[in-house]
Amino acid sequence: LFPEGTLRLLDPAAASARLGEVTDRAGLDQPGALSLDPRRVLQAWCRAPSAARIQSLEPTDGGWRLSGPSEPQIFRTVILATGADLRHLWPAAPILPVRGQVSWVAAPDPETPRAAGWGGYLAPMAGGFLFGATFRRGEVSTDLTDEDHQANLDSLAKARPALAASLAGAALGGRARVRATTRDHLPLAGAVPEAPGLFVLGGLGSRGLTWAPLLGEHVAARATGGPSPLPGDLAALVDPARRSAA
Ligand SMILES: Cc1cc2nc3c(=O)[nH]c(=O)nc-3n(C[C@H](O)[C@H](O)[C@H](O)COP(=O)(O)OP(=O)(O)OC[C@H]3O[C@@H](n4cnc5c(N)ncnc54)[C@H](O)[C@@H]3O)c2cc1C
């Protein structure tokens, strides 16, 4: 899958040098990998979106009636991309919520650790670094909890014990949100079953930033009748009508 040189096997000594503290485990290095600032990526993707909270969606002659803060409007084609709130507008959406919390801490620039993943992950960000994230199936609260901060510290301690110990008592920031997952862990991208003109891009789980650009093109192609970048067998895997999703 990967071109020569994009993945390198590191023995424990090399992995220790790469991590910044001693580990007795081997690792994989991706020299060209980047960590993203999601806010800046979203600003580049969605330059000036026009946003309004949609309260209801009803089939009507000639399309779908969307009711929001202003006059209802009718559209022939609608694409649902409302994350963990998908069921609000599509009650049968086969979405399973999984709460996740990341933790972050301020750090002076030279001390910002390099990105690493081990099941948990650690990523540099402006003015500090973040680490996480928790997975709590069926939970939908978005409050920050000390319990989840502790779970993230416990995970960090598996790969970076000295760094985790140095954070004892530190003031942690964080953010909690709800991931939208499906039973077969694959996204929902394409036509909503038995709802002509209604499409969905959702169920992106923990991989929205990775999957959304390609799947967005796929859903746009389905909605406009254009050619999709996805081959037929892959399109079938993410088809919202597949039985394994629910
Ligand atoms: C802790 C945590 C860590 C994560 N880490 C990563 C990671 O490292 N890499 C990665 O790729 N992904 C990660 N994810 C997953 C990623 O955030 C999601 O996959 C992605 O945000 C899903 O995108 P989305 O557009 O489907 O939904 P969202 O990003 O939730 O966007 C849905 C949008 O719809 C809007 N909306 C909802 N209802 C309505 C309505 N009725 N009317 C109008 N607008 C509405 C919401 O306000 C929101 O703006 C993480 C998630 C969590 C919780």
Nearest CA to ligand 1 atom 27: 83
- Which domains does the chain show, CATH number per domain? 43-95+184-245 (3.50.50.60), 96-180 (3.30.9.10)
pLDDT surpasses 80 at 74 = yes
Distance set, CA 199 to CA 130, 194, 219 (Å): 34, 11, 7
Rounded Cα distance, 118 and 129, in Å? 16
Query: Tell me, what's the pLDDT at 1?
Result: 76
pLDDT surpasses 70 at 108 = yes
Query: Tell me, what's the pLDDT at 46?
Result: 83
What is the average per-residue pLDDT within 10-14?
A: 96
11, amino acid identity: D
**Average pLDDT, rounded, for the chain:** 93
Q: Between 129 and 50, where is the model more confident?
A: 129
Among the listed residues 124, 170, 127, 180, the one whose alpha carbon sits nearest the alpha carbon of residue 150: 170
Centre of ligand 1 to C-alpha 204, Å, is 8
Query: Where does the pLDDT of residue 119 fall: very low under 50, low under 70, confident under 90, or very high at 90 and above?
Result: very high
Three-class SS state of 216? helix
Among the listed residues 208, 184, 183, the one whose alpha carbon sits nearest the alpha carbon of residue 100: 208
pLDDT surpasses 90 at 243 = no
Nearest CA to ligand 1 atom 22: 208
Centre of ligand 1 to C-alpha 214, Å, is 16
Give the ligand 1 atom nearest the CA of 132: 1
Non-local CB neighbours of 121 within 8 Å, separated by 6+ positions: 115, 131, 132, 133
Nearest CA to ligand 1 atom 30: 83
Query: Tell me, what's the pLDDT at 100?
Result: 98
Cα angle value 42/43/49 (rounded, 5°) = 95
Nearest CA to ligand 1 atom 14: 206
What is the average per-residue pLDDT within 100-107?
A: 94
Q: What percent of the chain has pLDDT over 70?
A: 100
pLDDT surpasses 90 at 109 = no
The mean-pLDDT minimum among 110-119, 124-133, 217-226 falls in 110-119
Centre of ligand 1 to C-alpha 241, Å, is 22
Kindly state if the Cβ of 87 falls inside 6 Å of ligand 1: no
Query: Tell me, what's the pLDDT at 112?
Result: 81
Q: What percent of the chain has pLDDT over 90?
A: 76
Nearest CA to ligand 1 atom 41: 54
Residues 59-91 as b/e (b if ≥16 CB within 10 A, e otherwise) read eeeebbbbeeeeeeeeeeebbbbbbbbbeebbe
Query: Tell me, what's the pLDDT at 43?
Result: 87
Give the ligand 1 atom nearest the CA of 55: 41
Query: Where does the pLDDT of residue 49 fall: very low under 50, low under 70, confident under 90, or very high at 90 and above?
Result: confident
pLDDT surpasses 70 at 110 = no
Centre of ligand 1 to C-alpha 51, Å, is 15
Rounded Cα distance, 185 and 206, in Å? 10
Beta strands 121-125 and 116-117: pairing type? antiparallel
Nearest CA to ligand 1 atom 47: 82
Query: Tell me, what's the pLDDT at 63?
Result: 95
Rounded Cα distance, 64 and 196, in Å? 9
pLDDT surpasses 70 at 55 = yes
